Structure 1
Amino acid sequence: MKNILLAVLFSSILNNYASAQFTVYTQANSGIPSDYVLCISAANNGDIWLGTDAGIVRLSGNNWSTYNFGNSFLPSDTWNEIINIGNQNWIGNSNGLGQFDGMNYSTFTDSLGDFTIWTMELDANNDLWVGTYSGGLDHYNGSTWDNYNTSNSALPDDQIEGIAFDNSGNVWCATSGGGLAKFDGTIFTVYNIGNSGIVSNSLNSVATAPNGDIWIGGPLGAISQYDGTNWTNYDSLDYGIAYSSIRTMVVDATGMLWVGTTDALMSFDGTTWTVYHTLNSNLASSTITELVIDKDAYLWMSTAWGGVAKLNVPTSIASIEPVADFSIYPNPISETGTVRYTGDQGEVKDIALYDVLGDQVTTYPASTKLDGLTISTLGLSAGIYFLSIRNDHGTMSRKVVVR
């Protein structure tokens, strides 16, 4: 029971109530053949392409098309990577890489350092860069292949988890155990915990911002921001999703960071983290597998067990207004702290303080006025706690540091 409570508590921590809603496509309301969607790509013509465990899927307007082993030349139904380029799609899975136009399939597996495709991206020249499970980084310029690995280059790890490109054309690679690598076409520059302020050597994803900042995410919820000189690290408790694995990241044209994790979708505007999940939005799943922004600046996400979702407001004009919010001051607390609550209190269901193990240590009457509520630390050991407020809007929690 304690573990369940802890999971619910952490998945409910919001730095702002997320009021934006999504258009969600599942098997129950659309022609998508499976709710288990592993990857997503947005075409320049507006089509959305998906890789699922039931084939390759195209959404064109309101029309759904599925391509699988039974009705096309595809050698498999399960695809974990897809990138659209014109009339073609690069698609990858644990058996290799191919190109698919909706009818014909061509294999490119023999040229790779490893058959298992982990990540793929196209650069500004439409060159393909492929990260593999154990074969390093592959580059295809349309006619020839180059492979970079730990044996023939300064690449620090052969398992590539994420690829991104900066404004200067450098290739940034997030690796499984070797930290972050920047490749300028000739030289690899490596950033790890031994020579930089990076949060971890174990990384899952990387994204570049319009201003040149590099964002990386790891398996235990750690996020780093690098501006070319300084590193800023964000702990999972800063945004309230404890130890949630960062799966995918993208930065929109306004500089807003969007992060897909195993437990939530998050956004960060440089000041405030906003968290979306199944408890505070109409998302059908909180497990985000990939994020992409389409030609009209809409954010799309593929999810595990929840189909596909689209943010209803373009990211270029998105403004997330909280239904309610609260803070605690002072924080850290020596003896007492006070809740400052803004917005509609609604009907309060329960108010409780939990420790990091998920044990409830203090409760408050549901009739308590939230704004001005006094938090006493009498009898509490120094450490981290969470104040959770549940009302008819949902559940919000805040970290409380007792000293």
Structure 2
Amino acid sequence: MRYIFLLIFISIFRLHSQTITNYTVNDGLLDNFVECITVDINDNIWIGTSIGIQMFDGVNWTIYNTSTHPEIASDNVSVIQAMSNGDVWIGTDEGVSVFDGINWVTYNSANTNGVLNNQVKSIDEVNDGIWVGTISGVSYLIDPANPSWSSITPPDLHWSGVNSTYFDGNTTWFASPLGGVTHYENSIFTVYDTSSGLLSQNVTDLLIDPSGKKWIGTGGGISVLNSDNTNFTQHTKMYLLSPPDTLNPVVDLEIDSYGRIWAGIYVGYLAQGGVAYWNGIQWNDYDVTDGLVGTNIRDLAIDSQDNIWIATSTGISMISQIAYNLLDYQTIELIYPNPSDGDINISTNQEYTDLSVYNNLSQCVFSATDTYTHKFKLDLKFLPRGIYHIVLTNNTTSTNYNLLIK
């Protein structure tokens, strides 16, 4: 009997365990103070520092700087972003540079029709191109083969610049350092700030989850704007501090393939920080007491295996083998099994005529029109693992389900 109990105990322990691996200059890191981090399509890790760029393939470290590649805008890299085509973009105080795997090319305000301002705050990829946030607004490049930049400036956007850009279907969202967020739709710019319910004017990052909720990282925590943009939900204690301090300034936001929201947090006046994730029910956090390499969180990135890469001022940490709580994704008596391999049953007490399935990028990956009532089966085994949002609708109502395919 004790032997059986021991086996069960070990299984539960493994379910909730994780591994943290740290990298510093002693392991080949270019510099311990890492400003930014990203993961490319081959799961190579790219970092930006004040003395250049480095790529880590899991074994070897490769350095790129103005000495080895004079085409790079500057060695002082504050932003780095890998794109879906494999290109890697960096942002500096002297413009942006892009690496296609062979050559580096730089764009700055000196170029004809170049970027708006050389001081770059963000680089984001949206469906229609590359968007570069600067201290003066945002510049976007639709066709890299024809490098002519267009820009959006005040008064359409706040004068303090753009910290992040996110695309939502046919609309675009901009995060401002001092002006909240701006939503662009049908040629109209709409501002959401503290007067609308936002926690803080200082917006550091934003993302949109599969259900259409906007997660807005601010200097005072996270504000979540609902899918129809009418109501905010606030998260102010993602990372627990010793009383009486509670302030949670957000450095970065990411979403993994399970739909968990990850937040990097750093409280400068306390020199304390960590990372936290929202599992749909509660926040869980990690810091130096759990094994992170440092407190000054600078940036986050997530690879294809849902490992979390954390850039700090004292090195890099990778959190792997992060368990999920099956109950977080289970809707009892509605959708089962959940998690699933994609072969599922749905029970409902209403009749629906339309079914749609969305991935964690809010893209529709499956839709059908039929009569859906009581209990029916749905085969989604063709979908890769991750969190999906199933929407059933009829003329008067809709029902939403979250499904985890593993």
TM-score normalised by structure 2 residue count? 0.67
Quote the residue 2:231 is aligned against. 230
- Rounded Cα–Cα distance in structure 1 between residues aligned with 2:107 and 2:131: 13
1:349-388 per-residue CA deviation (whole Å, 9 max, x = no partner) reads xxxxxxxxxxxxxxxxxxxxxxxxxxxxxxxxxxxxxxxx
Quote the residue 1:76 is aligned against. 74
- Rounded Cα–Cα distance in structure 1 between residues aligned with 2:326 and 2:63: 35
Is contact 2:73-2:95 (8 Å) kept? no
Compared CA separation, residues 185 and 97, structure 1 to 2 (3 A): farther
Which residue of 285, 302, 308 maps to 1:293?
A: 302
- Pairing 1:55-74 to 2, within 5 Å after superposition: 55-73=52-70, 74=72
- Rounded Cα–Cα distance in structure 2 between residues aligned with 1:57 and 1:319: 35
1:177 is aligned to 2:178? yes
- Pairing 1:120-135 to 2, within 5 Å after superposition: 120-125=123-128, 127-133=129-135, 135=136
Is contact 1:40-1:50 (8 Å) kept? yes
1:311-361 per-residue CA deviation (whole Å, 9 max, x = no partner) reads 2126xx54599xxxxxxxxxxxxxxxxxxxxxxxxxxxxxxxxxxxxxxxx
Compared CA separation, residues 169 and 39, structure 1 to 2 (3 A): farther
Is contact 1:247-1:290 (8 Å) kept? yes
Alpha-carbon shift at residue 102 of structure 1 (Å): 5.5
TM-score normalised by structure 1 residue count? 0.67
Alpha-carbon shift at residue 36 of structure 1 (Å): 0.9
Quote the residue 2:280 is aligned against. 270
Quote the residue 2:115 is aligned against. 112
Alpha-carbon shift at residue 123 of structure 1 (Å): 1.1
Task: Flag structure 2 segments of 5+ consecutive residues without an equivalent.
Answer: 1-15, 267-272, 328-406
Quote the residue 1:50 is aligned against. 47
1:95 is aligned to 2:105? no
Count of residues in Structure 1 that have an aligned counterpart in Structure 2:
292
Is contact 1:159-1:175 (8 Å) kept? yes
Quote the residue 1:162 is aligned against. 164
1:256 is aligned to 2:260? yes
Amino acid at match of 1:23: T
Amino acid at match of 1:180: V
Alpha-carbon shift at residue 169 of structure 1 (Å): 4.3
Is contact 2:262-2:276 (8 Å) kept? yes
Amino acid at match of 1:209: D
- Rounded Cα–Cα distance in structure 2 between residues aligned with 1:239 and 1:251: 20
Compared CA separation, residues 320 and 118, structure 1 to 2 (3 A): farther
Is contact 2:118-2:134 (8 Å) kept? yes
- What SS does the aligned partner of 2:32 have? coil
Is contact 1:208-1:250 (8 Å) kept? no
- Rounded Cα–Cα distance in structure 2 between residues aligned with 1:87 and 1:207: 21
- Rounded Cα–Cα distance in structure 1 between residues aligned with 2:190 and 2:73: 38
Alpha-carbon shift at residue 115 of structure 1 (Å): 1.0
- Rounded Cα–Cα distance in structure 2 between residues aligned with 1:264 and 1:185: 39
Alpha-carbon shift at residue 108 of structure 1 (Å): 0.9
Task: Flag structure 1 segments of 5+ consecutive residues without an equivalent.
Answer: 1-17, 322-403
Compared CA separation, residues 44 and 76, structure 1 to 2 (3 A): same
- What SS does the aligned partner of 2:210 have? coil
Quote the residue 2:35 is aligned against. 38
- What SS does the aligned partner of 2:252 have? strand
Compared CA separation, residues 237 and 70, structure 1 to 2 (3 A): closer
Quote the residue 1:303 is aligned against. 312
- Rounded Cα–Cα distance in structure 2 between residues aligned with 1:87 and 1:205: 23
Alpha-carbon shift at residue 19 of structure 1 (Å): 5.1
Compared CA separation, residues 237 and 82, structure 1 to 2 (3 A): closer
Quote the residue 1:345 is aligned against. none
Alpha-carbon shift at residue 216 of structure 1 (Å): 1.0
1:173-219 per-residue CA deviation (whole Å, 9 max, x = no partner) reads 1111211111237322211222x222222211112112211111222
1:113-151 per-residue CA deviation (whole Å, 9 max, x = no partner) reads 2110001111134x1111112x10111112332111114
Is contact 2:239-2:248 (8 Å) kept? no
Is contact 1:149-1:158 (8 Å) kept? no
1:215 is aligned to 2:215? yes
Compared CA separation, residues 311 and 318, structure 1 to 2 (3 A): farther
- Rounded Cα–Cα distance in structure 1 between residues aligned with 2:238 and 2:259: 22
Amino acid at match of 1:114: N
Amino acid at match of 1:37: V
Quote the residue 1:399 is aligned against. none
Compared CA separation, residues 304 and 45, structure 1 to 2 (3 A): same
- Pairing 1:6-25 to 2, within 5 Å after superposition: 20-25=18-23
Residues 43-52 or 183-192, more deviating:
183-192
Is contact 1:39-1:82 (8 Å) kept? yes
- Rounded Cα–Cα distance in structure 2 between residues aligned with 1:61 and 1:203: 33
